[in-house]
């Protein structure tokens, strides 16, 4: 369940009990898109994407990255101080544990947005939490 897809290659998590994700970067900035534009935001960019959109501007997220525990990511978002968190990629839902991250961020009181390419998504699989958007 904790595996990640990097540039079409499956990277198996060799420590599956740690509840972690393959992460390209975490950074703090102002949101530049959608209705949250202008809000101080922590961006969590997950590694990997099975798609190859011709207009992609984040090809660097297709591979590399580092394993981070989900609790560590929530702690970093808390330390950053922004109440908004944007989970992005890559295709963040290519890693199934992204759903755990979304749930824990919501439970910690963040307003959470998910940047998703929209190719396929089951809302029934999404965590039930208030204050988040796709
Ligand atoms: S879904 Fe996003 S990250 Fe993946 S190829 Fe398309 S634009 Fe790039």
Per-residue pLDDT for 66 more than 80?
yes
When the pLDDT of each residue in the chain is averaged and rounded to a whole number, the result is: 88
Distance (angstroms) between ligand 1 centre and the Cα of 107 equals: 28
Domain made up of 4-116: CATH architecture: Alpha-Beta Barrel (3.20)
Q: What percent of the chain has pLDDT over 70?
A: 85
Distance (angstroms) between ligand 1 centre and the Cα of 56 equals: 5
**pTM of the predicted structure, to 2 decimals:** 0.87
pLDDT bracket for residue 18 (50, 70, 90): confident
Q: Which of 6, 24, 43, 117 to mutate to test the pocket of ligand 1 (most atoms within 8 A of CB)?
A: 117
Report the side by side order of strands in the sheet with 132-133. Answer: 66-69, 20-30, 40-46, 84-88, 111-114, 132-133
């Amino acid at each position: 369940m904790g595996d990640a897809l990097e540039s079409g290659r499956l990277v198996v998590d060799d420590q599956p009990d740690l509840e972690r994700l393959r992460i390209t970067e975490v950074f703090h900035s102002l949101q530049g898109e959608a209705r949250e534009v202008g809000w101080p935001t922590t961006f969590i960019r997950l590694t990997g994407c099975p798609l190859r959109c011709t207009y992609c501007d984040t090809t660097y997220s297709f591979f590399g990255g580092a394993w981070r525990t989900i609790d560590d990511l929530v702690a970093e978002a808390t330390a950053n101080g922004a109440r908004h968190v944007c989970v992005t990629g890559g295709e963040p839902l290519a890693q199934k544990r992204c759903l755990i991250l979304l749930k824990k961020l919501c439970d910690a009181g963040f307003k959470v947005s998910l940047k998703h390419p929209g190719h396929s998504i089951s809302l029934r699989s999404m965590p039930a939490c208030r204050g988040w958007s796709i």
